[in-house]
Amino acid sequence: MRTTFLTIMKVNLRNRIALFWLLLFPIILSTLFNGVFGNLEDGYKVKPVPMAVVADANWSKAVGAQSLVNALNGNGATGDTARNDEGRDEADTANDPADGRRLLTVTETDSTRKAMRLLADGTAKGYLSADGGGRLVLTLSREAASASRAGTGESESGISISALSTVVDMYNRTDAMTRQTLQDNPKATTSRQFWNAVGNSANMTRETTLTNFKPDAMARYYYALLGMACLMAMSYATNAVSMVQANLSALGIRRTVAPLGRAAQLLAGFLACWLCSFVALLIALVYIRYVCDVGIGGREPAAVLAVAAASFMASSAGTLLGAVPRLSADVKSALVSAISCTLSMFTGLYGGFAMQLSDWIARNAPVLGTINPAQQVVDLFYSLMYYDGYGPFIRTCVTLLVMSAVFLAVGMAVLRRQRYEHL
Amino acid sequence: MVHGLVKRYGDLLALDYFDLDVHEGEIFGLLGPNGSGKTTAIGCILALLTYDAGTIRVFGQPMTPTNYALKRRIGIVPQNVAVFNELTVRENIDYFCSLYVPRRAEREPLVEEAIDFVGLGEFRDYRPGKLSGGLLRRLNIACGIAHKPDLIFFDEPTVAVDPQSRNAILEGIQRLNGNGSTVIYTSHYMEEVEQICDRILIMDHGRHLALGTADELKNMIDAGERISAETLDLTEETIERLRALPFVIEAAYDGRELDMRCRRGEHNLVDLLAVLRSANVNVGRLTSRPPTLNDVFLELTGKALRD
């Protein structure tokens, strides 16, 4: 049995077609995803924009301007801004200068001319100055201005410049309104309510994360890809079972007449297939996690367990498919591809429409998602990423194990003591 | 060994109360055209196929799918090459030997011996995809014999093999038999069967037609000689005169060659030539040969073995 295990391992590891689908395909496709989604996400990220500040006499007169710049520069951020509403520590991202909280990196100059020079040599993308009335003026380089007009994506700082422009407008509006109110009603300076209102008017929408991990819409595609690769892993077990059946291959004849029982050969083959698909999927997972930088909620050890459960289910399903009587090995092989591609569609792998379909199924016919092994594999990683506890993950694991038990029980019932009417 | 074996595929009777008795130490030939039931009979004997009636005993024991002790004494060389394309020659032989001989230390010399036996030493690290058809057949054989079985089934092992490899295979089978293995050899190539088999069973439509040594089988039939003559000027009247000769069973003429199946006789050629001379027929090449197994089959079934 040990030799059969090792032999099927070798056969699997040298099976180029299976290796392509299990190993290369997820790596190639996730690399493509990474190329497409990575640029898309980068375009929407807020990154610090190098700006000059003309700290001249007008700047000194503009009350609050320096505080604003300090806040945008990250110097004014207090501890609580790096914590979300639930008090969950986000230290892993708070120290990142590109964490979405810092809009500027500042170079101070004492004159507009120097600031213009910084713009010209590319050190700064624009400069902030104050006019005699205390209004902030944002001057942008030609490139930065067009990036700001484009809004997103096309330039790596487009979003940041748009945001900066909005902040400066809001500052000027609030400042003008405050000055006007105080001019009209000087008593307001002593009103706490007035100053609170001024502060509130400057409040923006604040991003909070209620889930275990910051949501990543694109992660679903990678999980769906893992789901498909997992189903393609059925081919190992299907092939292994076909190679034991005398009516499907000459190899099956030779192995059936041998004095090693069918159960022992099937078990050795199953374990070898499980191990091979586990390793292949684990490599794909590691690539997706660490090369494509797709998160799994910081629960990598559980993700390894997820891969073990998923590959066990794939090997069980492959065993069942391999046991189906009256189908040739080639037909079974084609069925593996057909089933994998079809079920993957319902996980959303094939783009927007498929994602909508997947969501529709989740909302309106959840039982279809429950019996779709590819969807269950996706849910394994999904539950790791989004849920605070391990409950949903464990439930999905149990679903997969129940599926596996059913597949194996039916497969073994068909294969057990099988003798043939025809060869 | 096999008695009254009946196997049906739906309405088709593949084995019709088939009997087989193989003696230990012999090379036993199962000869029959394609579809005659040879492979089906082997499938039943090896407990691969279910059957409808009959008994099968090997080395005195009933053959069942779980009689592993008995299976350990049997080797099979299937009709189609049965090896893993992903494994090398050595790995393939080692794996199939491991199904019979689990202990590695015990197995290794057997594997080396099998590699030497089939002459694949220089190809030991090749994968099957790089081997020629003849070498593949040799690998197929090595995988079936490495564990030194007492009984080996060769199911048409020379199909689609070049003459050189065919001779090597046949010599190998004779050597295996010389080493003490009993061999059951199926083929539709009568020359091979005649060349290596001690006894031959001719079968067709799942039925046992005749059993004996090659000479015994040839003696069972009327035809004792086959005479062929190249001639271009044979008339219908002369052909009729030839057919009227008492030793002629059948005479056919295609405009170039006269072919006659004749009974045994000491003066067949002389009498034939006398008729041809009297009719002023010019004869080119004239040959006479003893009957073959094909003639036996032809007489038993009314059709040639390769039809």
Q: pLDDT tens, A58-80?
A: 888 777 788 888 888 776 544 33
- Spatial strand order of the sheet with B248-253 comes to B248-253, B257-263, B223-230, B286-289
How many whole angstroms separate alpha carbon B231 and alpha carbon A245? 57
A-to-B residue pairs, Cβ atoms closer than 8 angstroms: 86
Confidence class of residue A419 from pLDDT cuts 50, 70 and 90? low
A422 contacts in B (CB within 8 Å)?
A: 9, 49
Spell out, as residue ranges, where chain B has pLDDT lower than 70: 303-307
- In DSSP terms, B288 is beta-bridged to B227
Confidence class of residue A44 from pLDDT cuts 50, 70 and 90? low
pLDDT at residue A39 in the model: 64
Q: Please give the structure tokens belonging to residue A338.
A: 């057909």
Q: Above 70 in pLDDT, residue A136?
A: yes
Q: Does B50 touch chain A (CB under 8 A)?
A: yes
> pLDDT tens-digit profile of B99-110?
999 999 999 999
Task: Give the chain B residue nearest A420 (alpha carbons).
Answer: B49
A258 contacts in B (CB within 8 Å)?
A: 71, 96, 99-100
Ramachandran sector of residue A15 (left: φ over 0; alpha: ψ -120 to 50; beta: rest): beta
Asked if A4 and B78 come within 8 Å (Cβ–Cβ), the reply is: no
**A residues 255..294 contacting B (CB < 8 A):** 255-261
Backbone angles phi, psi at A86, to 5 degrees: -85, 5
On whether the CB atoms of residues B38 and B30 are closer than 8 A, the answer is yes
CB contact set of A227 (below 8 Å; sequence gap of 6+): A310, A343, A344, A347, A349, A373, A374, A375, A377, A378
Do strands B182-187 and B248-253 pair parallel, antiparallel, or not at all (unpaired)? unpaired
In terms of Cβ atoms closer than 10 Å to its own Cβ (0-12, 13-18, 19+), residue A375 is: buried
Q: What does A37-82 look like in DSSP terms, one character per residue?
A: HHHHHHHHS---EEEEEE-SHHHHHSTTHHHHHHHHHTTT--GGGG
How many whole angstroms separate alpha carbon A315 and alpha carbon A333? 14
On whether the CB atoms of residues B191 and B213 are closer than 8 A, the answer is no
Q: Does A326 touch chain B (CB under 8 A)?
A: no
Shortest CA gap A39–chain B (Å): 41
Confidence class of residue A138 from pLDDT cuts 50, 70 and 90? confident
Asked if A261 and B68 come within 8 Å (Cβ–Cβ), the reply is: yes
**A residues 227..256 contacting B (CB < 8 A):** 243, 246, 249-251, 253-256
Q: Does A8 touch chain B (CB under 8 A)?
A: no
Confidence class of residue A87 from pLDDT cuts 50, 70 and 90? very low
Shortest CA gap B193–chain A (Å): 23
Q: Does B84 touch chain A (CB under 8 A)?
A: yes
**Residue range A228-243: mean pLDDT, rounded:** 89
Q: What percent of chain A has pLDDT over 90?
A: 16
B47 contacts in A (CB within 8 Å)?
A: 257, 419
Q: Does B93 touch chain A (CB under 8 A)?
A: no
A423 contacts in B (CB within 8 Å)?
A: 39-40, 43, 48-49
Helix, strand or coil for residue A332?
A: helix
Q: Does B100 touch chain A (CB under 8 A)?
A: yes
A250 contacts in B (CB within 8 Å)?
A: 78-82
Closest C-alpha among A172, A130, A196, A155 to residue A45: A155
Please provide the size of chain A in residues: 423
pLDDT at residue B114 in the model: 92
Q: What percent of chain A has pLDDT over 70?
A: 83
Do strands A126-130 and A49-54 pair parallel, antiparallel, or not at all (unpaired)? parallel
> pLDDT tens-digit profile of B132-159?
888 898 999 999 999 999 999 998 888 8
How many whole angstroms separate alpha carbon A170 and alpha carbon A6? 69
Element (H, E) at A114: helix A112-120
Strands (E), B69-217: 74-77, 151-155, 182-187, 199-204, 207-212
Shortest CA gap A412–chain B (Å): 17
A246 contacts in B (CB within 8 Å)?
A: 48
Q: Does B80 touch chain A (CB under 8 A)?
A: yes
pLDDT at residue A199 in the model: 65
Q: Does A416 touch chain B (CB under 8 A)?
A: no
- How many Cβ atoms are within 10 Å of A302's Cβ, its own excluded? 19
Q: Does B105 touch chain A (CB under 8 A)?
A: no
Asked if A10 and B87 come within 8 Å (Cβ–Cβ), the reply is: yes
pLDDT at residue A88 in the model: 36
